[in-house]
């Protein structure tokens, strides 16, 4: 799994200083984007080529809250690769404590939303 760090800012939190539940999806998206970048893949370039990665399904379990000022780690790997989709597994941790875990299935589609075969370099990524 690849790991990136992020700081929790005021904009990420609710009135109680706890990360608002929907903002975890933003952190997870950053983790997936950086995972692909680490493997030499630029999401913006795929988009320009008409290969769009649309989130088809997300399953997330919230374990403990992240709070204002925390430095969190977003850990990302791939659990399954199919012809036109891939499933990421992700964990958000703070100092080794699990805060949230998720899986997200992304479908490769064209500009009209029709399925496209995954680019070969994505189809050959390592799985966990």
**Active-site residue (options: 12, 14, 59, 70):** 14
DSSP 7-61: EPPGGGB-TTSBBPTTHHHHHHHHHHHHHHHHTT--HHHHHHTT-EEEEEEEEEE
Convert the pLDDT of each residue in 57-113 to its tens digit. Answer: 999 999 999 999 999 999 999 999 999 999 999 999 999 999 999 999 999 999 999
Boundaries of domain holding 90:
2-123
Query: Could you tell me the CATH number of the domain that includes residue 119?
Result: 3.10.129.10
Convert the pLDDT of each residue in 10-36 to its tens digit. Answer: 999 999 999 999 999 999 999 999 999
Greatest alpha-carbon pair distance for the chain in Å reads: 45
pLDDT of residue 124: 92
**115 token code pair:** 């399925």
Q: What is the pTM of this model?
A: 0.94
The number of distinct structural domains making up the chain is 1
C-alpha distances out from residue 107 to 4, 53, 64, 81, 83, Å: 23, 5, 29, 10, 9
Strand order across the 2-7 sheet: 2-7, 71-81, 85-94, 97-109, 52-62
Asked if the structure places residue 8 within a domain, the reply is yes
Question: Any catalytic annotation for residue 14?
Answer: yes
Asked if the structure places residue 128 within a domain, the reply is no
């Amino acid at each position: 799994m690849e790991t990136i760090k992020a700081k929790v800012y005021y904009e990420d939190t609710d009135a109680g200083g706890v990360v608002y539940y929907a903002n975890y999806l933003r952190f997870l998206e950053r983790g997936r984007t950086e995972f692909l970048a680490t493997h030499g893949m630029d999401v913006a370039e795929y988009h320009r080529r008409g290969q769009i990665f649309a989130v088809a399904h997300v399953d997330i379990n919230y374990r403990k809250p992240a709070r204002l000022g925390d430095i969190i780690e977003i850990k990302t790997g791939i659990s399954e690769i199919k012809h036109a989709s891939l499933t990421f597994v992700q964990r958000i941790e703070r100092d080794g404590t699990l805060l949230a875990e998720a899986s997200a299935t992304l479908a490769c589609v064209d500009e009209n939303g029709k399925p496209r075969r995954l680019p070969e370099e994505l189809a050959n990524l390592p799985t966990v």
